[in-house]
Structure 1
Amino acid sequence: MAGLPADVRRFYVRAILTAIRRRDRWSLASATRPSDLACLLRLARGRLQTVELGTGWTSISLALADPRRRVVTYDPHDHTGRESYFALVDPAVRDRIELRRRSGERGPEAGESVEFLFLDSSHAREETLASFRAWQDAVVPDGLVAFHDYGHASYGGVREAIDELGLRGDIHGALFAWRKART
C-alpha cells in the first residue's frame, strides 16, 4: 500500500474487505495491485480527462486521487455487485465517474479527448490493438496511454499488441506507458 494516497489506501482496504465478504472472486482476481496502482496514479498526476477501458476499482481510485479528475470508464459487461464498490466513496467522487456500458474498442464519442488512457480490458492481442487504434487520435499531444499487465505471463497479448504497434515507452512494474508526441 506504500505510495498510495491515504484516501485511495482506505478505499482499497474497504474494497478488499467488501469483495471478501461478498465472495467476489472476480474483483479480487482482477483488481489492480497496490504497487501498480501507485505507479498508475503517478503517471496520471495532473491529467484530468481520464478514460479506463475495462471497469474495476481503478476508476474509483483515479477519481479519489485527484478531486478535479473526471473518469469515463468503458465496459460492456455488467459485473455483479459493482455498485457495492461505488457505494464505498462519497457521492461527489461517484459523480466524477461515468460508466459507459460498451466496449472500448468502439472508441470515443464524437469530440471526446483524453489526457490519460488506461487499457485494462481483455488483454488479448486483437482487442488491445483495436482499443488502442480506436482511441489513439483522441489522446491529446503529450497525453499518456498506460497498458496494464504488460509482461504478465497469462496476458501475452498486451506485449504482442505493443510490439506490433511499434510503440516506444517506459515500463513501470506491470504497466507499459506510451506518451503521445507533442505536435
Structure 2
Amino acid sequence: MKKARQIEVFNQTGDKITTLSKRDAWQPVIDKVRLLKTLATQFDMRLKPIRIELLEGDKLHQKGTFLHFTISPGNGSENLKALTIFGLGAKGELQFLYPIKEYKDSLLVEQFPYSVPEMTVGPSLGEENLVIVLCDTPAKELHKLLLRVQPKLPAPAQLLPHLGDCQVGEYAVFSGI
C-alpha cells in the first residue's frame, strides 16, 4: 500500500507549523495566516499589550501534554475585564474556548492574573495559536459568531466589527509527537 505524501509547512521564520497530506486542503492554513495578520493589526496602541504566560515555557510540547496559561491586561486601570479566548489549530481549525455557557464561565474576570482552564495538546500538531480578546464589555456578538462558524475560521471582515474597544493578544504554541 502506497503511503500518502506528506507536505511540511513552514512559517516566515523557518519554524515547521504543520504537516499536510495531499488530501488536506491548503485553504484553511492560508485563511489562518490571513486571520492572524488581521488580528495583529487590531493591537490598540493606546492600550498596553495583554500579558500571556505559558507556565510550561516556550518549547515543543508533546501530544497529550497539559498546558497552563495565565493572562493579564497590560494595565489594570484600562478596565478590560470581558474575556474571550479562541484557538487556531495548525491546520486552520477554530476552537471557541472561553466563555463556554455549559461550564457557566463568567463573562467578566474579576481578578488578574487569570488562570485559563487547563488545555491539552491535541491531534492538530504544529503551530497552534491562542487568541485572547479583552474588552470593556462582553463581546456577545463575537461569541455568537465564533460558535456559529467553528471549526471553520471566520473571514476577517466578519470578525473585525466585533472587536470594537478591545485589546487582542496572540500566543503561538508549537506541538509535536
TMscore range, shorter length: 0.3 to 0.5
| Bigger strand fraction | 2
- TM-score between the two structures when normalised by the length of structure 2: 0.34
| Bigger helix fraction | 1
- TM-score between the two structures when normalised by the length of structure 1: 0.33
Q: Greater relative contact order (Cα 8 A, min sep 6): structure 1 or 2?
A: 2
Query: Whose Rg is larger?
Result: 2
